[in-house]
Every structure is written in C-alpha cells, then in structure tokens.
C-alpha cells in the first residue's frame, strides 16, 4: 500500500497533541506554490486548505450519501483569523468539526496546528441544496452523524 495522505480521527489527533473536541484532521507540509512574496503561506492558501479538508471530511463522514439524492453543497459564508505566519516546508495539521446545525445549514470550525500551536482559525456555514438551488432540510441521519461524531448542537 502506498502511503496516501490519510485523514486523522480523534485518537490520532490526540496522539499528535491536538486537544478535544477536534475530531477530524489532515496533516501535510507547506508547498512552494503556497508561499507568497512575503515568504509565508499566502492568506488565500488557507481557504483552499480548508476547502480540501471540508470535502475530505464530508466524504469520510458519509455526508454526501446521507444528504439524500443528488444533493448540492454550497458555502454560504467563511471567516479566517490569521494568528501567526507559517513558513516554507513547515509541517501542519488542519482540523475541523461541525459545531451547530440549523434547518438546512450547518457551521464548521477549522484550525491549523503547527507544533501543537494554533496559527490560523476559520469557520464556514454550509448549506444543503437541491440541484435547482432550492434549500433542502438536513436529513435526520445526517444530523445524527454530526451529533454523534462531533457533538454538534441543534440550534
């Protein structure tokens, strides 16, 4: 088996020094193309990282299946808070969890850890749509997954 980049669950995250309640993560190393003229990871790169993380998370939790037939997921809003710069070749772990749900949307939080310290945090609100862009209520089994695995709160 080739060592593909694997998602990290709660116990792997704890082993890496990342505290509860973070429940899902991906480790990687900063790439040359993510560095900008200021010689640190460009602001925009984090949003790309968190997109990749979110898609991996949704895949791994089975959300694409639990969402019913032909679901469409869109991002309603995102926020990023940059606390410390990250340099070339640095190893990091990006983590996420779903913190709350409404009728058709849910809120995820993100963080980037370098050597056990948070360098950037973020959040997003994602919405479940039908293919015609009308909203779809989150199915119960999908809600239950967010509650059981992440301790998400129903608002």
Residue 87 or 148: which CB sits closer to its own copies? 87
3-class secondary structure, 134:
coil
For residue 21, the minimal CB distance to its own copies (Å) is 19
Q: Is the peptide bond before 21 cis (omega within 30 degrees of 0)?
A: yes
For residue 43, the minimal CB distance to its own copies (Å) is 5
Residue 37 or 140: which CB sits closer to its own copies? 37
- Is residue 27 packed enough to be buried (19+ CB in 10 Å), middle (13-18) or exposed (0-12)? middle
Residue 122 CA to residue 49 CA, distance in Å, equals 11
> What stretches of the chain show up as alpha helix (H) in DSSP?
10-15, 43-60, 63-66, 140-150
For residue 147, the minimal CB distance to its own copies (Å) is 25
3-class secondary structure, 51:
helix
Residues that bind its own copies (CB under 8 A): 2-6, 8, 12, 15-16, 27-29, 31-33, 35-39, 42-44, 47-48, 51-52, 55, 59, 72, 74-82, 85, 88-89, 91, 93, 133
For residue 140, the minimal CB distance to its own copies (Å) is 26
Residue 38 or 140: which CB sits closer to its own copies? 38
């Amino acid at each position: 088996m080739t060592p593909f980049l694997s998602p990290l669950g709660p116990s792997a995250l704890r082993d890496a020094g990342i505290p509860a309640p973070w429940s899902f993560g991906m480790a990687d190393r900063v790439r040359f193309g993510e560095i900008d003229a200021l010689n640190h990871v460009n602001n925009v790169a984090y949003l790309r990282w968190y997109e990749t993380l979110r898609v991996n998370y949704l895949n791994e939790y089975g959300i694409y299946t639990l969402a019913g037939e032909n679901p469409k997921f869109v991002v309603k809003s995102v926020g990023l808070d940059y606390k410390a710069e990250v340099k070339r070749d640095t190893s990091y772990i990006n983590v996420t969890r779903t913190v709350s749900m409404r009728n058709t949307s849910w809120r995820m939080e993100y963080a980037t850890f370098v050597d056990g310290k948070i360098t950037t945090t973020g959040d997003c609100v994602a919405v479940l749509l039908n293919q015609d862009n009308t909203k779809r209520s989150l199915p119960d089994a999908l809600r239950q997954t967010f509650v059981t695995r992440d301790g998400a709160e129903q608002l």
